[in-house]
Amino acid sequence: MKVDAPLVAAGLRDVPAIATGVEADGFDGLYTFEGPRDPFLRLMLAAEHTHTLELMTAVAIAFARNPMTVANLAWDLNAASRGRAIIGLGSQIRPHIEKRFAMTWSDPPARMREFVGALRAIFSCWSEGAPLQFDGTYYRHTLMTPFFTPERVPCGPPPIFLAGVGPAMTRVAGDVADGFFVHPFSTPDYLRTRTLPTLRTGARGKHHDFEIAWPVMIATGVDEEARIAAENATRAQIAFYASTPAYRPVLEHHDRGALQPELHVLSKQGDWNAMVSVVDDELFDLIAIRGTPAECGHELARRAAGLVTRVATNAPYVAPPTVWTEVLKAFREHADETDLSPTGAP
């Protein structure tokens, strides 16, 4: 099983040191996300300063861009890293697409399916010389001249992963993607009984090489004070996710669906403190892991056993890199004693 680390950097100048440190510590991959900074730019710097790490956007927001802009970024990142890029895409939710990115929102599963189809058509044009003729409902790409065609590279185009929570987007991922990013707002039981069976219904999700990655929320730190701060930050993140209608299926699966509208009202009121108080310890421990780095590493191995092909630490706070190295060490110690091969694999 592969273990990935988040690329959390205060700025671009910090990326080389963090990336080389993550690689030296034995992680398999490094991922960015669509937050306060662009997810592609930091990975390009990481590509320059690493040799073995797989470099993932987990995730870049597809609907904030278009297939051609993503194709250009993905092609260059994969070429610069000599085939180590993984392009993870997600849909986000309507308010962010319309109000933050000023882009169009409609029928996310159908749009995402077409987005990936358009990406593959562009990649085929660039890598195989096929005519660019993609004419869809949401995206149309029918012009590509030699001047705008990037040079072919031995590694070819990168794999495409999709992220999702509900069954519709999960089904799309199983049909058209090369892998799936489980949302951090998930649980082992939801993953086992809902997500994996849905992925397996897809043409690609049935394949043995279809990767399933799970970034698990972890609250830990070097001492008790740091762990308390990490737990508070993680609890706030859980409250934010739980307030979102798109993530309600996870709550409903655990008979906690009534929390979503309650938290949604509080979020509209901007009462973030009240939202955090709604996330009780039972819900926290369903979604996230807390404790010392060693305890978290062991629990991460226990939760991931037989479910996924790669895991990652997900933390809405900054911790010293040594903390994640300790989590990784404990994970691998426990993994040596645990069967971590995915169950129900095709």
Average pLDDT along the chain:
94
- Cα distances from 225 to residues 277, 281, 326, in angstroms, run 19, 18, 18
Q: How far apart are CA 100 and CA 172, in angstroms?
A: 25
Residue 339 confidence (pLDDT): 55
Residue 338 confidence (pLDDT): 61
**The residue type at 294:** A
Residue 346 confidence (pLDDT): 41
- What is the phi/psi pair of residue 3, to 5°? -125, 125
Question: Which residues, including other chains, have CB under 8 Å from residue 80's CB and lie 6 or more apart?
Answer: 44, 47, 48
pLDDT of 35 above 90: no
Arithmetic mean of pLDDT, 46-50 = 97
Q: What is the pLDDT of residues 97-113, one digit of tens each?
A: 999 999 999 999 999 99
SS (H, E, C) 294-311: HHHHHHHHHHHCCCCCEE
Residue 163: enclosing H or E segment and its boundaries? strand 160-164
The 3-state DSSP class for residue 83 equals coil
Percent with pLDDT over 70 in the chain = 97
Burial category of 143 from C-beta neighbours within 10 Å (exposed 0-12, middle 13-18, buried 19 and up): exposed
Pair type for strands 310-314 and 2-6: parallel
Task: Report yes or no: 214 and 192 within 8 Å, Cβ to Cβ.
Answer: no
Is the CATH number 3.40.50.2300 carried by domain 2-218+290-335?
no
Residue 345 confidence (pLDDT): 42
Q: What is the pLDDT of residues 198-239, one digit of tens each?
A: 999 999 998 989 999 999 999 999 999 999 999 999 999 999
- Cα distances from 8 to residues 16, 71, 81, in angstroms, run 12, 24, 19
Lowest mean pLDDT among 19-28, 278-287, 313-322: 313-322
Residue 130 confidence (pLDDT): 94
**Omega before 59 within 30 of 0, i.e. cis:** yes
Helix-helix angle 293-304:321-335, to 10 degrees: 50
Instruction: Find the largest Cα–Cα distance for the chain.
Output: 60
Q: What is the pLDDT of residues 289-335, one digit of tens each?
A: 999 999 999 999 999 988 999 999 999 888 888 999 999 999 999 88
